[in-house]
Amino acid sequence: MSRGGVRGVVCRQHAGTRWDSAGRIGSTCIAIFVALLLAGCVALDPLPEANLSDPGWKIWTGQAVWQPRAGNSPLVGDMIVARHADGEIFVSFSKPPLPLLTARANGSSWWIDVVERGHSYSGRGKPPGRFIWFRMPDVLEGSTDIAGWEIEAVAAGEKILTNSRTGERVRMIIDL
């Protein structure tokens, strides 16, 4: 008997048994797992554009020097940081006319486009702590307690934020 015939006999022998059911259950579980994995990997669309001229926004403008990692060349540009009364956050770091980084967050989702690295990240809920940009309004309002970051007030309107683990550093000078 050919090898293929043996397989056919074995399959017919176990059809309807617990082995056959286990195979179908396993296949179903794998299919559900793959579907959930793919659904979780879908990037969220960026948040709708912020209209900073609407009432309720507190806005800071200035310049910044950003060194994404130790050993990287620093990037110099203009910075806009804004927080709406409802908690929404907008941050733009650019070298006109080119945006280098844009970050947005509201109570239910967040999005950051890091053009310098060629990446966009997004998610639901609170933004991850690794992106200091979402904490800029807190820093500008006087917060000095941000996990993993050392914040130094150099002069009026000037602060240096340093992450000693990654070497990331942001020096900002806010227009007063």
pLDDT in tens, 61-84: 999 999 999 999 999 999 999 999
Q: Is the pLDDT of residue 43 over 60?
A: no
Tell me what pLDDT residue 116 has.
76
49 — pLDDT class (breaks 50, 70, 90): confident
Q: Which residues does 163 contact at the CB level (< 8 Å), separation at least 6? A: 132, 148, 149, 150, 169
Give residue 103's Cα distance to chain centre: 9
pLDDT (average), residues 140-169: 94
Q: Is the pLDDT of residue 27 over 90?
A: no
> What mean pLDDT value characterizes the chain?
82
- CB count in 10 Å sphere of residue 149: 19
The tally of CA atoms less than 13 A away on the side-chain side of residue 141 is: 10
Tell me what pLDDT residue 114 has.
93
Tell me what pLDDT residue 28 has.
53
Does the domain formed by 57-174 have CATH 2.50.20.10?
yes
Residues linked to residue 173 through DSSP beta bridges, in sequence order: 63, 158
Q: What are phi and psi of 163, to 5 degrees?
A: -105, 105
The 150-155 sheet, strands edge to edge: 119-124, 109-114, 98-105, 89-95, 75-84, 57-67, 169-174, 158-162, 150-155
Cα(70)–Cα(6) distance, integer angstroms = 63
Tell me what pLDDT residue 36 has.
41
Cα(151)–Cα(168) distance, integer angstroms = 12
Cα(17)–Cα(68) distance, integer angstroms = 59
Q: What is the percentage of the chain residues whose pLDDT exceeds 70?
A: 73
pTM over 0.85: no
